[in-house]
C-alpha cells in the first residue's frame, strides 16, 4: 500500500537538521502573525464545518521563525519555497479525529513548488483544488497560494476527509489553475504528475534557479525537459554561457544548430548528455534526449513567449 509521508522524507535526508547542544534549554519561539493573516486563514475553518465537527480550541500558527517546532527537520524544504504561515487545527467530528494544516506559501508558484516536491506520480489523484491526492487517512491538495494537508483517524475518516477538503477548497476560492508555465510545456509524451518547480539549485547549479521541469518518455527513452527562468534575455544567455563553461570544464560542449539557433550539446560523465538553448528570458534544457528529439525540442522552445 502506498504511504504518503507527512513530510518529504527523501528531501530531508539531503538537508541539514539543526542540532541542539546536549543539555541546552529549549525555548519556544512565538509566531508573530499579523491579525489580517490570522483572520484570512482562520475563516477557512469557521463554523459550520463538515460532519458537525467541533473545534476544541483556537488554531496554532507557525511562521518561518518557528515552523521547526511543529515539523522538526521537515521545515527545511518548506523554507526553501519561502513558506509564510501555517494554520494548524485539531478537530473532532464524531468519532473521527481530524487534523487541518493550511500552508500559506505566499504565491501560487511556491505553493505548487512544495506540493510538487512532496507529490509522487504513483499517488491516487483526486479532483480537488488545482490538484490533489489521497490515501487512507489523508488528502493533500494545492489551490492558489495554499498547500492544504488533511489527516483523519477513526470510523468513516475517509468520508469526513473528502467533506473537509471540498469545504476548504470552496472557502479558499481563487484560481484552480496550475502555474502558467505548466501549460506551456509540451503535452505529448509527458509523464503525468511529474511536473516540478525547483526554486533552489536545479541540477545542482545555482545559476539555473529557478526552473520548471517535467519528465517525458519516447521510444523507451526517459528524458527531462527543464525551463530555467531568467530575468531577461541577457540573463538567459548568461545562464547558457555558465552551463556551457561548466561542461567544457567537466566534459564536452559543442554547437548543435539542428536544435535551433545558439543551441549546444553538452556531455559529462556525471550529468550525461543534454541540449540547451536560450529563448527570450528562458534557458531550455533537454536531458538525455532521445534520437530524433530535434522536433520535440523546437516545439518546446517555440511554446515560450
What pLDDT does residue 10 have?
40
pLDDT at residue 219, as a whole number? 84
Return the pLDDT at 15. 42
Identical fold for domains 30-172 and 180-302, yes or no, is: yes
pLDDT along the chain (305 residues), means of 10: 42 40 50 93 96 95 96 93 98 96 98 97 97 96 98 96 98 95 96 97 97 95 98 98 98 98 97 98 97 96 95
Q: Which of 129, 130, 193 is nearest to 164 (CA)?
A: 129
CA dist 61 and 59 (Å) reads 6
Residue-level pLDDT at 73: 84
Domains of the chain: which residue ranges?
Answer: 30-172, 180-302
Q: Where are the beta strands (DSSP E) in 159-260?
A: 196-198, 211-218, 221-229, 251-255
Say what the pLDDT of residue 31 is: 72
| pLDDT at 28 (0 to 100) | 61
pLDDT at 25: 43
Cell numbers found for residue 104: 500559506
> In this structure, which CATH number among 3.10.450, 1.10.150, 3.30.70, 3.40.1000 belongs to the domain 30-172?
3.40.1000
Could you read off the pLDDT of 245-257 as tens digits, one per residue? 999 999 999 999 9
Q: What's the confidence (pLDDT) of residue 20?
A: 40
The pLDDT, as a whole number, for residue 128 is: 98
Q: Which residues contact 177 (CB under 8 A, 6 or more apart)?
A: 130
> Which CATH number is associated with domain 180-302?
3.40.1000.20
Q: What is the reported pLDDT for 91? A: 97
Amino acid at each position: 500500500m502506498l504511504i504518503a509521508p507527512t513530510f518529504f522524507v527523501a528531501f530531508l535526508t539531503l538537508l541539514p537538521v539543526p542540532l541542539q547542544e546536549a543539555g541546552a534549554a529549549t525555548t519556544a519561539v512565538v509566531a508573530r502573525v499579523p491579525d489580517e493573516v490570522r483572520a484570512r486563514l482562520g475563516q477557512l475553518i469557521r463554523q459550520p464545518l463538515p460532519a458537525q465537527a467541533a473545534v476544541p480550541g483556537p488554531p496554532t500558527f507557525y511562521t518561518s521563525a518557528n515552523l521547526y517546532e511543529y515539523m522538526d527537520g521537515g521545515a527545511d524544504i518548506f523554507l526553501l519555497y519561502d513558506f509564510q504561515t501555517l494554520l494548524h487545527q485539531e478537530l473532532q467530528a464524531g468519532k473521527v479525529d481530524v487534523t487541518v494544516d493550511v500552508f500559506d506559501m505566499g504565491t501560487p508558484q511556491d505553493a505548487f513548488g512544495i506540493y510538487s516536491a512532496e507529490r509522487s506520480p504513483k499517488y491516487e489523484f483526486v479532483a480537488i483544488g488545482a490538484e490533489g491526492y489521497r490515501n487512507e487517512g489523508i488528502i493533500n491538495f494545492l489551490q492558489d497560494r495554499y498547500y492544504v494537508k488533511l489527516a483523519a483517524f477513526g470510523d468513516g475518516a475517509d468520508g469526513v476527509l473528502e467533506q473537509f477538503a471540498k469545504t476548504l477548497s470552496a472557502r479558499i476560492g481563487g484560481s484552480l489553475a496550475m502555474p502558467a508555465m505548466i501549460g506551456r510545456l509540451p503535452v505529448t509524451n509527458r509523464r503525468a504528475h511529474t511536473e516540478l518547480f525547483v526554486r533552489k539549485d536545479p541540477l545542482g547549479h545555482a545559476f539555473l534557479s529557478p526552473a520548471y521541469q517535467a519528465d517525458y518518455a519516447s521510444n523507451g527513452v526517459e528524458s527531462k525537459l527543464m525551463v530555467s527562468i531568467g530575468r531577461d534575455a541577457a540573463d538567459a544567455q548568461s545562464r547558457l554561457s555558465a552551463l556551457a563553461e561548466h561542461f567544457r570544464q567537466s566534459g564536452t560542449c559543442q554547437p548543435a544548430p539542428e536544435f535551433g539557433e545558439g543551441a549546444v550539446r553538452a556531455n559529462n560523465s556525471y550529468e550525461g548528455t543534454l541540449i540547451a538553448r536560450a529563448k527570450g528570458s528562458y534557458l531550455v534544457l533537454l536531458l538525455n534526449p532521445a534520437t530524433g528529439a530535434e522536433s520535440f525540442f523546437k516545439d518546446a522552445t517555440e511554446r515560450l513567449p
